[in-house]
Chain A
């Protein structure tokens, strides 16, 4: 039997390493150009851009702290207005925590849990001791600027960030504190922003291939992102299976303080530190970008949020009690 050899071009494709439920780490479809001014010539001129190995004499810090927050909506509520209408609101719990990683132990150093009632209604009052769960369970009123789900979501997110700030204020001057997410408004000189999902193009199209050329543990040259909260930033590749050009790519941020040579040294330090914490696909749906300490911290923080069913039931009970009382 003979086969006719048909020569044709076959489609080349790769399956995203992240679990489909999480989307992709590089949202090409949504990726948009950064509106903020980007200076790509801070470390090397644009025409010399190529992958960089961290300096060989870089010392990895003894202790690294990872900070992360979680949020959960416990109940959606309707607040009766004097005019007979109802205003929507959300009861949510947010928590932030820090993991201290040293060469032989990883321990959760601090956890802060807060609950909020997020609404635009002027009638809102704090819900304390709902359903007899105890006075330590209390939903404080948080104003939502504007209507709509997006505004409420933002309010919850801001609250979580606020709690993260509150928590980072309790941390001592550590060598390296890695925040899950962009630095944004975090005023923390030692902070490192860790961005695992790429929504925005910071680099011009001609420089982007350098990201794809990165080997495990390599980084791009530093670039400066301007604007209100200016940062030094770069991309690096974490260890893990490489199914496509952008597998294992994360973007990092440092506060744009001091001169660029300091920032370069620090970027080397961060780039050399992080591969150790990269997760593996069989253990984490967002490997390798979802770092082990952060994943572990998130699991523990979710426990600190309390049982969702219990809280929901308590809130229902509370609502009924108030109705009956009035």
Chain B
């Protein structure tokens, strides 16, 4: 053999137990290992077969051998007491090839796994090249892949991301994954028809996905290369924002971006016929109340109303154009003018007391000011502005400016429409991706609501229907278990120390949990079914603008300040 092979970095030690689940490696004096390094070693069995064992370094320790007391360190460094520095690395095996689960033997030389060996160690070799979804970079800037079979529903679906706001960069990572999905070989030709729906829940971060990021310098752009991606903005983006309250023209209510934004709202007729009323009652407290019986009855009656053109409905001969008019008409039905008259049971539901009816009316009235600009048939140009999720590859629905009740209403209704459309089409392809942050708000663990039901439907049946949820939340412990459990891919950014101890993060080994509390922005732990060990990954700086100040030309072009500052907008 002329090839000496990769250099030996250490040997398996014999004073700590070596097991097939973890073992310690003494690092050779002139070599170093760092956390997340991928290593390989071989064990020859008595029958002559060779088992290749691959693993990832999950902890390191260094100590003085020959020292008995803590203060011996001073004696050793003063040259008085002989002592030796010894380093050891804890390795968690990721793969045995062939799969004979034996421990490595003490003394076995250990080498750094590079190139092909690294692919084997991380099971990338089991994924066909066109099914590799770039998911980020290792600390050594080598690409880390996801098996797209576990994303697109072939073997599993859904991605769940946890981490505290601000530093965990959950939304950035979700958009990076989306970019990777659309621009890598994973989707292939299907990328053209695949759609994504993104809810913008905080700030206006996601309103500039179609703009170059002027802050992306050449070095940051280079980091896309190892993954086979070309940095750039999303190509085909539709941005929808709620209308400005009180504006008869329904101009979208966005602060930093005016151009290319379209308003979204539902007509009174859609509200009635598509049975959207229950989504107004999606608070945790609603479920325990009797008045949902009334809401159900009213929803049924409204569905029977006839459209009177332009999205208005005819209600007992009255033309209803606004949400206020609709609420008044419903109130008239539920509360008779003469207190001695019994209310119409077709509207109230059977055997419902007046207290319950009044509770419903109060609840409906209080919803009025939050959603009146979202449910209307009074827009002068008469343009129908429901949500068309098929118009663009990526549709951003901005809900950050809405009240919580309105947010729930919009998320619930949009998801329901997407779900229904998929159910009707009867085909999983093309895929529909949905990015939703703050899952704890929409699918809370401890209560149920119409939105939670839909999210559960997506989580449990979305895989076969072709709806893939990329969900995120600060704390997975507050999200419905089944939503998280159905996600094949789990991602964890910076976690709160108390949260990191929860059982929901059982897939993270103890050291990883500890590290999760100090992860820096741009670093995440990625757990995927192919690998028994979560990998620490970094993802590159976004190539698309994430705020107005970043909007600029592609890197390498003249600085955006020299040009028309609005050139990128449009």
Contact = CB atoms under 8 A, between A and B. Distances in A.
Interface string B30-74: 000000000000000000000000000000000000101100100
B77 A104 contact: yes
Interface residues on B, range: 10 to 19
A103 B84 CA distance: 16
Contacts of A107: 82, 84
A293 B80 contact: yes
A293 B82 contact: yes
A244 B515 CA distance: 56
A104 B68 CA distance: 19
Interface in A96-115: 99, 101-108
A299 B72 CA distance: 14
A300 B66 CA distance: 7
Contacts of A277: 80
B567 interface: no
A103 B66 CA distance: 18
A188 interface: no
B556 interface: no
Contact of A104 (B69, B79, B84): B79
Contact of A300 (B75, B79, B82): B82
Contacts of B84: 107-108
B503 interface: no
A106 to B, nearest CB: 4
A108 B80 contact: no
B68 A106 contact: no
Contact of B68 (A108, A283, A293): A283
Contacts of A299: 66, 68
Nearest to B69: A283
Contact of B81 (A102, A104, A293): A293
A105 B73 CA distance: 11
A292 B69 contact: no
A106 B69 contact: no
Interface residues on A, range: 10 to 19
B78 to A, nearest CB: 7
A297 interface: yes
Given A106-B81, A277-B80, A297-B82, A292 B75 contact: yes
Contact of A101 (B69, B72, B79): B79
B76 interface: yes
Contacts of A292: 75, 80-81
A306 interface: no
B51 to A, nearest CB: 25
B79 A103 contact: yes
B69 A99 contact: no
Given A296-B66, A299-B66, A300-B66, A104 B82 contact: no
Contacts of A105: 77, 79
Interface in B285-310: none
B109 to A, nearest CB: 19
A194 to B, nearest CB: 15
B78 A103 contact: yes
A279 to B, nearest CB: 9
A183 to B, nearest CB: 23
B106 to A, nearest CB: 14
Q: Which of A101, A106, A108, A276 has the most CB of B within 10 A?
A: A106
Nearest to A99: B82
A108 B82 CA distance: 6
Interface string B311-332: 0000000000000000000000
Given A283-B68, A283-B69, A296 B79 contact: no
B17 to A, nearest CB: 18
Q: Which of A99, A292, A295 has the most CB of B within 10 A?
A: A292
A292 B67 CA distance: 11
B83 interface: yes
Contact of B78 (A99, A104, A108): A104
Contact of B83 (A103, A106, A276): A106
A105 B75 CA distance: 9
Contacts of B80: 101, 106, 276-277, 292-293
Interface in A268-303: 276-277, 283, 292-293, 295-297, 299-300
B114 to A, nearest CB: 33
Given A103-B79, A299-B68, 8 more contacts: A99-B82, A101-B80, A106-B75, A107-B84, A108-B84, A292-B80, A295-B81, A297-B82
Interface of A: 99, 101-108, 276-277, 283, 292-293, 295-297, 299-300
22 contacts: A101-B82, A102-B79, A103-B79, A104-B77, A105-B79, A106-B83, A107-B82, A276-B80, A277-B80, A283-B68, A283-B72, A292-B80, A292-B81, A293-B81, A293-B82, A296-B66, A296-B81, A296-B82, A297-B82, A299-B66, A300-B66, A300-B82
10 tightest CB-CB pairs across the interface, nearest first? A296-B82, A106-B82, A296-B81, A292-B81, A106-B79, A292-B80, A99-B82, A101-B79, A105-B79, A102-B79
Interface of B: 66, 68-69, 72, 75-84
